Every structure is written in structure tokens, then in C-alpha cells.
Amino acid sequence: MTRIRAFRDRRAAGLHLGEELGRRRWHDPLVLGLARGGVVVAHAVAEVLDAPLDVAVARKIGAPGQPEFGVGAVTASGDATYDARSLRALGLHPEDLRESRDAEQAEARRRERVYLQGRAPQPRAGRDVILVDDGLATGVTARAAAHVIRADRPRSLVFATPVAALEAAAAIKAEVDDVICLLAPDELRAIGEWYADFTQTSDDEVIDLLGGGRA
């Protein structure tokens, strides 16, 4: 099978995405990268827009026995977000996932502490916030993060990604003011297919990139 290689790596994708976002006018923009891989893309976007960079943490809640199949997501605070269609297909109720939800929320809190390194998050109220990820497959983690960000009263909230499944892009529109993606294929099996280099991003890389973000 021939691999699709639309982007060299996350940074290259972020530079392309930043160029597209740069066509708009922004009010006091703040770029938030979804940890972990989304931070790499967001760092490049922030460079292009000359905007501050910060992190958003959301953890996938996997199906029982299929941890890689995300049926929901949770952030460090607030309620979990679930994909209703996936729950129906598997005959699951949110309470069936309580143990997994609690474990993932604890991990989200830990990662948030690690990434912020003792500093306060960048303020979001009254700003144009751009939430960035390296791709959108089901979109459940992005929706969970967007729900929490919306509670911080940004002036506007835009989700931006290099590649998104059409159905997932449509679903997240309920949580944000706009969705910007460079590619929206009819069939998206795996985000990694769209990158020549999709090496897993480490916690140390996230911390380094956030340290290089503008204050």
C-alpha cells in the first residue's frame, strides 16, 4: 500500500497551517497546542502569527479491551466528553467507563503540571484562541479541550489542524466558532499516513517547545 505523505513532519505542517491562519486578522491571539503532538504544530503556527503559545491537555478514554479506540476524552477538570455513536455501537454507558475516565483525568492533571512547570496558564478571556492539533480523526479529545476552553470566555475559539476527517470536523463545529483544516479527505484511516515523519512527541519536547513560546 502506498503511504500518503502530504506533510514532511509536524513542524512543516504547522508552518503551512500558520500561513493559512495568517490570512485572517486576529485580536490578541493565543495558540494552544493539544498535547503532545499538537504542540509541535502549534509552535510553528505561533511563530508564523507571532503569537504566544500554550498547551491544552486532553486524554482519550479507550473502549474496554481496545484502549486505542477512543470513545471519549477528559481534561484535567470538568466532565468527560463521549462519542455517542461509538457508545451505542459498543453498547456502553458512560458509567461503564468510570474507572478509565478517572485514571485518564488523573493523568491529564499530572501532565498539565509537568508541562506548565509551575507557571500559570496563559489567560484566555477576551482573546482569539486557536486550538491546534496534528490531526483530527474522531475529534473526541479536541472536543473535550474546546469545551473547557470555551468556559474561559475567549473572544473567539477556532480549531485548526493540517488534516481532519470530514465527519470529525463537522462534529467539533458545535464546540468552536470555526474550523480550519488544510486537508479533509473522504476517508481518513490514520493521521500518521499524512506525514512522512510522525514520530511520537515526548514530554521533554513539549516542555522545550513551551519554554520557547513567547511570554
Residues spanned by the domain of 169: 10-58+121-211
Task: Decide if 2 is inside a domain.
Answer: no
pLDDT score at 202: 95
Domain count, the chain: 1
The C-alpha cell that represents 40 in the structure block: 509541535
Task: Decide if 110 is inside a domain.
Answer: no
Task: Decide if 161 is inside a domain.
Answer: yes
**Average pLDDT value for residue range 107-122:** 94
Tell me the sheet residues that pair with 164.
136
Task: Decide if 114 is inside a domain.
Answer: no
Q: Whose CA is closest to 168, among 133, 197, 129? A: 133
d(C-alpha 68, C-alpha 86), whole Å: 13
Q: Give the CATH number for residue 180.
A: 3.40.50.2020
Does position 1 have pLDDT exceeding 60, yes or no?
no
pLDDT tens by residue, 128-143? 999 999 999 889 999 9
Task: Decide if 150 is inside a domain.
Answer: yes
Task: Decide if 44 is inside a domain.
Answer: yes
Mean pLDDT, the chain, rounded, equals 92
State whether residue 34 is helix, strand or coil.
Answer: strand
Contact criterion met (CB below 8 Å) for 198 and 7: no
pLDDT score at 4: 54
Neighbours of 87 (CB within 10 A): 17
d(C-alpha 200, C-alpha 72), whole Å: 21
Task: Decide if 63 is inside a domain.
Answer: no
Sheet with strand 58-63: strands edge to edge: 58-63, 66-75, 81-82
Task: Decide if 207 is inside a domain.
Answer: yes
The C-alpha cell that represents 16 in the structure block: 503551512
pLDDT score at 213: 44
